[in-house]
Structure 1
């Protein structure tokens, strides 16, 4: 393990690049788009809070680590919009980025690639919760901005329902809230029916 602070800080600057990756969701107040570093922090906090609020039997430390590494691959790959036709290919470039970051001489997290791979492909209770909350947060921000991103990107109701359908089996309370919000967004004209 390296103890060269210069090498370590160069790695930290590599990680800092996540702040430059712009997402399609507007922050609360809709003044600007969020970046992936902000989303990762929000994801970690939301997962931790939901785990406690619902008294879920998860390893909180593992859950937070999974959330923090979740979007690191976007440093090289960029953020792929949930409803993009290229979404299924995004993991390839992200995986290459993770290998690069994990192999950096200044990286002190020896299992970085393994943690990222688990959040990407795993089925542990922590990974499943992470996937639910990762869909919940941008959805919530879209509702808070009165569907601004949905309208700008031409997203339709059926796309949102399809992308969030898996949540019904994983976390029925969250799915019920999302379904209620979809109905409201359509009724208010924030989300196109078709």
Structure 2
């Protein structure tokens, strides 16, 4: 890959810094997709001693690239995203990846296939962290920024995704405890 190709990839990825997400921060600022991707990458890194039987570097890679399709479509909250929305995002992402230098395109394609298949422990950890980070962020944001459906969704979301891991299930239960305290306190 030459320097120009490298820069072109970075220029597209930079869009995620300006792509707002559904969540807000503690101080009520709308979170960007880039911030979400950064934090789930950190979450993966922090698990390297909890999941010694997996390639945590691969999980970090998955976390870093997982929302790049949103460079083209923006963020659509999971509870309103349709199959048509997913198809458009996947198509635009696939076109972009195909335009990359061959070795990089292969790396991205291999990771996306593994992430989609959800068969490896690495892919399952990435998917769990993606969902759990959103719940953590909601617990950190003011309660009045939640949409009406999130009061129930935040009680049930992602339990099925983390079920393969006792550690992630314990984390999900701790997040639920924080959710319940937040709702009860009204803040």
In which range does the TM-score fall when normalised by the shorter chain?
0.7 to 0.9
What TM-score do you get using the length of structure 2 for normalisation? 0.85
Q: Do the aligned partners of residues 31 and 157 (structure 1) sit closer, same or farther apart at CA in structure 2, a change above 3 Å counting?
A: closer
Aligned to 1:71: 67
What TM-score do you get using the length of structure 1 for normalisation? 0.82
The count of corresponding residues between Structure 1 and Structure 2 is 183
Question: What is the DSSP-based 3-state SS (H/G/I as helix, E as strand, rest coil) of the residue aligned with 2:122?
Answer: helix
Q: Contact (CA 8 Å) 1:18, 1:75: kept in 2 or not?
A: yes
**Cα displacement string for residues 11-47 of structure 1 (whole angstroms, at most 9, x for unaligned residues):** 32112112221101123x3241111112111111111
Q: Does 1:175 align with 2:172?
A: yes
Structure 2: distance between partners of 1:55 and 1:42: 18
Structure 1: distance between partners of 2:156 and 2:47: 23
Q: Do the aligned partners of residues 116 and 148 (structure 1) sit closer, same or farther apart at CA in structure 2, a change above 3 Å counting?
A: farther
Query: Quick one: which of 103, 125, 132 aligns to 1:129?
Result: 125
Runs of 5+ consecutive residues of structure 1 not aligned to the other structure: none
Q: Do the aligned partners of residues 47 and 98 (structure 1) sit closer, same or farther apart at CA in structure 2, a change above 3 Å counting?
A: same
Query: Quick one: which of 159, 164, 180 aligns to 1:165?
Result: 159
Aligned to 1:115: 111
Q: CA deviation at 1:108?
A: 5.3
Moved more, 100-109 or 8-17: 100-109
List structure 1 runs of 4+ shifted beyond 4 angstroms.
105-108
What's the Cα RMSD here?
A: 2.2
Q: CA deviation at 1:178?
A: 2.2
Q: Contact (CA 8 Å) 1:47, 1:130: kept in 2 or not?
A: yes
**Cα displacement string for residues 138-181 of structure 1 (whole angstroms, at most 9, x for unaligned residues):** 2112111232431xx22243322332221451322112112212
